[in-house]
Amino acid sequence: MDMERILQEIYKQLPPQPAVCFTVEPGDDERFGNKLGGTPYFPKDMEYPVGTEGDFQGKPLNLLVQLNFEQLPHLPDFPTKGILQIFIAGDDLYGMCLDPDIGECMTQQRNFRVIYHERVLTDEKLLYAADEIPRSDEVDCLLPFVGCYKLVPQELKLINPTMHDYRFEKAYQKLCEDTGHSDGGSADLCGPIPSLDELDEEDFDKLYETKFPNAILGGYPFFTQEDPRSCPELAELDTLLFELDSVMDKEKGIDICWGDCGTGSFFLSREKLKALDFSRVLYNYDCY
């Protein structure tokens, strides 16, 4: 089975998406920089984000990531200026909402918060100093990492979809239907292709194969479990805003781990992104 040709047909339905990939490096806590953790850029005249339920109700959230778009390669439909921040609670789910009614609750920013500063103040007297940032007094604050790491952006690149994205299986099934027609099927593939259940292990694994970066803005996601957007009410959240993988490098002193070597991902709709509206963002954390 020529899986490469099959993948090329699927990419016609799910085109490769541009992305900024990052490497994680030890680094100084630069106020306006691209980073994980550390002291956030935050104006004193803004209300600092706090949790709204559970053990973190009314308690300050923790900076997960800060992205300064003026310091990044430009992605289509993403901001060209301003600073985007994601804050999370230090509970056992890292601030993710997981109610019995899983689905829409994952977009409700109860114990996580996405904040976009379109206008960036440069006068540091107007910003919280490091010792002024509200902190949680929780002794057992659970986070994927401690301290601060620098995010180093790479050149813009195209990312191919894989079976990690729930739309991939639908695209494959459509290809099966199209190539099973009595007219001989696709001109490119010349006949029917096997269903996913009929693929051998080696060919099936090729549908998942890709090298995922430490962190990514845009592109396609990676999951250790399932894509939550297969839930109908979340299907419109078609754009990967940001994803951070577990990264461990003893030589560099990097230790980032989501539970049992998992991943944290954030999604929104393309239309909301264009409007710079970050009020409805899906946050998913999973691990092995």
Give the model confidence (pLDDT) of 164-206 as tens digits: 999 999 999 999 888 764 343 444 555 678 888 888 888 888 8
CA atoms within 13 A of residue 17's CA, in its CB half-sphere: 23
Distance in angstroms (rounded) separating the CA atoms of residues 109 and 280: 8
The H or E element spanning position 191 is none
Domain of residue 96 covers 3-286
What is the number of domains present in the chain? 1
Q: What is the pLDDT of residue 181?
A: 41
pLDDT digits (tens, 9 = 90+) for 13-22: 999 999 999 9
Give 136's pLDDT tier (boundaries 50, 70, 90): confident
Phi, psi for residue 19 in degrees, rounded to 5: -155, 155
Question: Closest Cα to residue 61, out of 147, 129, 138?
Answer: 138
Q: What is the pLDDT of residue 184?
A: 38
> What average pLDDT does range 135-142 have in this prediction?
71
Pairing of strands 17-26, 263-268: unpaired
Question: What's this model's pTM, rounded to 2 decimal places?
Answer: 0.92
CA distances 64 to 163, 229, 288, Å, are: 27, 22, 21
Q: What is the pLDDT of residue 205?
A: 87
CATH number for the domain spanning 74: value is: 2.30.320.10
Choice among 110-114, 138-142, 270-274 with the minimum mean pLDDT: 138-142
